[in-house]
Structure 1
């Protein structure tokens, strides 16, 4: 893999094939600290032939000692394969089985990052992938490291560019601070570039996805042969894709069986061993929908105030009474579900959490009074509310109801169009999404467990999926194929993908 700095660099990368057409002295500006040109033995050997450079000789001599009569296409090539392996484990949905080795590997790569490793910073795909995985796992790194790749002309014009541009595009989604212009510029040019290259799915679904559907898609299209094109075809010697495919295939179908046992609840962001959490999540999602509708149009003001008072009194609700049968049914649904969840949580945690559930769910003891939980809930709730408003403005307008989009139009007093109001709300969504991501990745000063924070991020992705383009939450039939992929349809690998 070479540093991607334009047409001149591309020619330099294949310098051994151009012989006398090269300005060899000029090409030596690409020499790395290990003496090589682009970590390429063939390009370095050509430079040695023409210039008799001592550092080139040292690099090639070290390869001969290490590999005897044969050398790899690229050397060293260590960091990118390890990053690629971690990314594969995540995409295949089996990363939870390798948490310790992933953490150790990322620690090692972080050290290389802080030391300014050429293997990372001279290759856009490696740099972008490393940035994304490190930042997503809470490592404090600056986006300025990607500054060399913030313009389209810094990427070569070849098929490998699509992978590099796609990695850079994904990295640009990791904006967590108000002022990260490098990532903004990378987002702008990579999106345009990938649109021209018809990389449609990744552009339309940057956040709108479920992990298990993504895993299924990746498993079904997995590169078992594990061959990459560098100067020649190259197979990563330390990655056995067939073993990974087999494990991910078995893991997916096992998880699917567990999901079916859970009464066909929709796929959720919980791993297979947390069935109670998954069921409670589904129950509370249904309750949230019912309560939302009750407050929107079903309940009178007297009923709404009655329900609020009942919840505030909780175990003393019998002293208040119910204003209607609807209030009674809804309160007891909330009351029973919350108490049931509290009983299950108490068995797991060894302490009573009912009081916290009545207020808002909080897990660790030291986090009970923290504002961090409130902020996580606030951001994901606002994201869901605004996403819903964007796709339901016409329907709710016909019903005589206002939402954030229509309110922006009203407050504009005729100066704001619906499109402009939609764009403003979209900017608000992006702002809250970035702040949510920052909080999820934050380690210093955070008392909320990472696993718990991840649920908020995954929930925001589910919300994007439901409200991508239209309101799929109110139209369940539009989600049938996604549900079937997770719950009802086992993965059937093609014959050439199966192990003997």
Structure 2
């Protein structure tokens, strides 16, 4: 391999533009005493907006970006209550708050608090049973991945999708750390071969180290295969295995580049690194669990691959902008360093970061266009998962490398999973003087 490849213009060759906003209906979730993730499980109530609340702008730092009915719920609720205070407010919203008060008195808050605790306990128990917590090189990011799942997939019927989204997210992080710092070249080669042979020859497990055994056996969560295959009325195991193989082979390519001091072209880099950003094992299995049938013809459709490519490319470039210094110290190339290199040193790091924003904007715009397109091979609920993950990436990487930081996103984790969602004034959700008849005026 050559040590340098000319890459001029690749990252800047894509057109860019702002993502066009679509009209949103906002959802009011004012559930006293419920945690923020439980809000989406019980009270999904649309209402008419008044005045300047229609033009609320959403900050980039929020994990719940626009273009989703649920995404603006917490922000809109907080802003609405801060504006109306104890003054008059729409009767329909008053009705909704009264209904929430009734649910609260029935013990709904305690029920959902117990449900969330049960789910998290199960997830952490799975980490322990898989012995992933015994791997000294591995980052433990279960809370972050459950945050991304609970913050984007509200409906109760998506419980399995949320759990497996979080579990596979943990696995991809552990595997990434194993390839970066935890394994030798021989162990990495052995792990890839093990996954390739797992289906046909399970006896290969006796010839590998305990680390490889834990990683490979965890990658094949039988319950994921069983649930996905049952919902789809067909065996999807081979596809789930292939998703992991694609990731491991791409990670091995990066290892070989690093060990040989090979500098890839920008196109080589982004094609491979979009895979190693490791969104495949998180998002793609979840498509089988959100409801619609996903036949093999959909998986092979160009639209399916393009949705995945755009989502992964956007996430990778966001990560590159914020993680440049960390990856530089690890001896890795990324899109920022490649831009500086192809400029012959005339471009600064900050200029390169700014330039990378253009293809990010383009990927987001094109991804949203595909998600909103009516005539499509991929079912709409499945397409929305690609967009939701894109928003999660923006949440973690829009301002800094929030995913790698153990503290930066802790407040958001607590806000969504732990802290109760309380109304500022209990008087806001008491029955009006006219009683129930005033809540439901005649037409």
> If the length of structure 1 is used for normalisation, what is the TM-score?
0.55
> C-alpha deviations, 1:183-235, integer Å up to 9, x for none?
xxxxxxxxxxxxxxxxxx734447765987853343344359989xxxxx998
Higher helix proportion (structure 1 or 2):
1
Structure 1 stretches lacking a partner, 5+ long: 1-82, 106-124, 127-159, 168-200, 228-232
The answer to whether the Cα contact below 8 Å between 1:342 and 1:353 also exists between their aligned partners in 2 is yes
Partners of 2:95 and 2:239 in 1: how far apart? Answer: 44
Q: Which residue of 2 aligns with 1:189?
A: none
* 1:372 is aligned to 2:303: yes
Q: Which residue of 2 aligns with 1:326?
A: 211
The answer to whether the Cα contact below 8 Å between 2:320 and 2:334 also exists between their aligned partners in 1 is yes
Q: Decide which moves more: 390-399 or 359-368.
A: 359-368
Q: Tell me, what secondary structure is at the counterpart of 2:175?
A: helix
The root-mean-square deviation of aligned C-alpha atoms, in Å, is 3.9
Q: Which residue of 1 aligns with 2:119?
A: 262
Partners of 1:416 and 1:456 in 2: how far apart? Answer: 33
Change (3 A) 1:203 1:357: same
The answer to whether the Cα contact below 8 Å between 1:392 and 1:471 also exists between their aligned partners in 2 is yes
Structure 2 stretches lacking a partner, 5+ long: 1-21, 31-38, 122-142, 244-284, 289-293, 432-443
How far residue 482 of structure 1 moved from its aligned partner, in angstroms, is 1.3
Q: Which residue of 2 aligns with 1:37?
A: none
Q: Which residue of 1 aligns with 2:365?
A: 434
The answer to whether the Cα contact below 8 Å between 2:304 and 2:378 also exists between their aligned partners in 1 is yes
How far residue 450 of structure 1 moved from its aligned partner, in angstroms, is 0.9
Q: Tell me, what secondary structure is at the counterpart of 1:423?
A: helix
Structure 1 segment 102-121 matched on structure 2, within 5 A: none
Partners of 1:495 and 1:96 in 2: how far apart? Answer: 20
* 1:275 is aligned to 2:133: no
The answer to whether the Cα contact below 8 Å between 1:226 and 1:241 also exists between their aligned partners in 2 is no
Answer with 1 or 2: which has the greater Rg.
1
Change (3 A) 1:208 1:403: farther
> C-alpha deviations, 1:288-322, integer Å up to 9, x for none?
11222223343333333332232233312446565
The answer to whether the Cα contact below 8 Å between 2:198 and 2:204 also exists between their aligned partners in 1 is no
Partners of 1:489 and 1:207 in 2: how far apart? Answer: 16
Change (3 A) 1:323 1:260: closer
The answer to whether the Cα contact below 8 Å between 1:256 and 1:486 also exists between their aligned partners in 2 is no
* 1:215 is aligned to 2:73: yes
> C-alpha deviations, 1:261-282, integer Å up to 9, x for none?
2116523122233222111010
How far residue 464 of structure 1 moved from its aligned partner, in angstroms, is 1.0
From 480, 488, 492, give the equivalent of 2:422: 492
Partners of 2:113 and 2:311 in 1: how far apart? Answer: 27
Partners of 1:410 and 1:216 in 2: how far apart? Answer: 44
- Residues matched between the structures, number: 317
Partners of 1:287 and 1:468 in 2: how far apart? Answer: 24
Q: Which residue of 2 aligns with 1:89?
A: 27
How far residue 359 of structure 1 moved from its aligned partner, in angstroms, is 2.5
Partners of 1:97 and 1:234 in 2: how far apart? Answer: 22
Q: Tell me, what secondary structure is at the counterpart of 1:316?
A: coil
How far residue 457 of structure 1 moved from its aligned partner, in angstroms, is 0.8
Structure 1 segment 56-455 matched on structure 2, within 5 A: 87-89=25-27, 166=55, 202-205=58-61, 209=65, 214-223=72-81, 240-246=92-98, 253=109, 257-263=114-120, 265=143, 266-267=146-147, 268=149, 269-270=152-153, 271-318=155-202, 322=207, 324-335=209-220, 337=221, 339-360=222-243, 361=285, 363=288, 364-365=294-295, 366-444=297-375, 446-455=376-385
> If the length of structure 2 is used for normalisation, what is the TM-score?
0.61
